[in-house]
Amino acid sequence: MKLWAGRFKKEVDETVNDFNSSISFDSRMAEQDIKGSMAHAAMLAAADIISQEDADKIIGGLQSILFDLQEGTLPIDPAAEDIHMFVEAELTRRIGDAGKRLHTARSRNDQVALDTRLYVREQLQEIIGLIKAFIKALCDKAEQHTETVMPGYTHLQRAQPITFAHHLMAYTQMLLRDVGRLEDAYGRMNECPLGSGALATTTYPINRDFVRSKLGFARLTANSLDGVSDRDFCIEAASDIAVLMMHLSRFSEEMILWCSWEFKFIELDDAYATGSSIMIRGKTGRVYGDLVTLLTMMKGLPLAYNKDMQEDKEAIFDSIDTVKLCLKTVTPMVETMRVLTGNMRNAAAKGFINATDCADYLVKKGLPFRDAYKITGQLVAYCIDHGKTLETLELTEYQQFCGTFQDDIYKAINLETCVKERKPVSGPAPDSVLKCIRMVRGQLKD
């Protein structure tokens, strides 16, 4: 029987039933729905709104439904309008009239708001765990390559020498910010809306704090209209996931470049060499679409609950599913990839990426900054004209441009020296990167 069967005189058209139905996607919230209902039933008994006997029957019946769903022995009825009606109907079938008392002092509006918060809150914890696993994989790989020299790029042009470890650790900083954003979102969404009713609470003497405590929420929603119509938490979660996907996409783009014959910096394990990175790039656009769906859905809705808000679930579910799949793919891809250190070093030896260090050498010898950079530019032009590099120039050639050059110029422009001398905090010097790795590992433990 449909929820509104008592109001309407005609049967609802089957097409409209299909249009309104959400059981095909909200059935994943069955566990959250049952746990919320158990807490609600316990509260109803504690507040003397229903008998303890009925509450015990309800809670026992709900536990049996949850067990059967988890065991796969209870199929979801596709004809049910949504997961809330399916659970309530199954409960009543099992325990009789006591099951019909469960919905006392509750509306589907605050029920779905509760279930969605419970589900998204739980999923954010799982996503944060997956991000941390990815960060750990990056730290592990970086620790192996603190002295693996490679070119650092600007505008995809070789610019200055860095290490592979330094490059990987840049992504850990992005990902730690992603963790922070998701933790902030978790904190904001950690409010219990149950008790808001359809929009104006209820005349029953309910104890909202009882349910809040049972379900582990930090706070109660402060306004019943907002409690049933707020989907900021879905939008914020989808926004944070979109930023995270952007970071994964950037990383994947570099994997694609580094695997190409033009770079050949890495080789992926065969298990991850069939387009995983390309798919992560593509799925990022999909997650952006989910965010736009949520924003567009909410932008014109008056208070309080509107049926339009049923569209929130497929979008936030898809965002969650997609980012979890991507994180589960990219982490072992990093763990198993082979780093071609020789190719990285060879690429760093080309392109005059140590020209800055050549100029700094002259400045440290007392030349004005502008003069030193002008001389270095002339040296680079000379090398290009004569098919040489700064490393292969003779000292006499250096001295044609400036008599300040001595034999120690070769140590100054050595790529390993260039990297090791970049010692400031956040730089690519091996010791600096190792400190960064220890710091990031510490943050993961915290």
Q: Which residues are catalytic, by number?
A: 155, 276
Q: Name beta bridge partners: 3.
A: none
**C-beta atoms surrounding 407 within 10 Å:** 8
| 149, 344 contact by CB (below 8 A) | yes
331-345 b/e (C-beta count within 10 Å ≥ 16 → b): bbbbbebebbbebbb
Q: For 408, list phi and psi in degrees, rounded to 5.
A: -70, -5
Number of Cα atoms under 13 Å in the Cβ half of residue 4: 10
The answer for 262, left when phi > 0, alpha when psi is -120 to 50, beta otherwise, is alpha
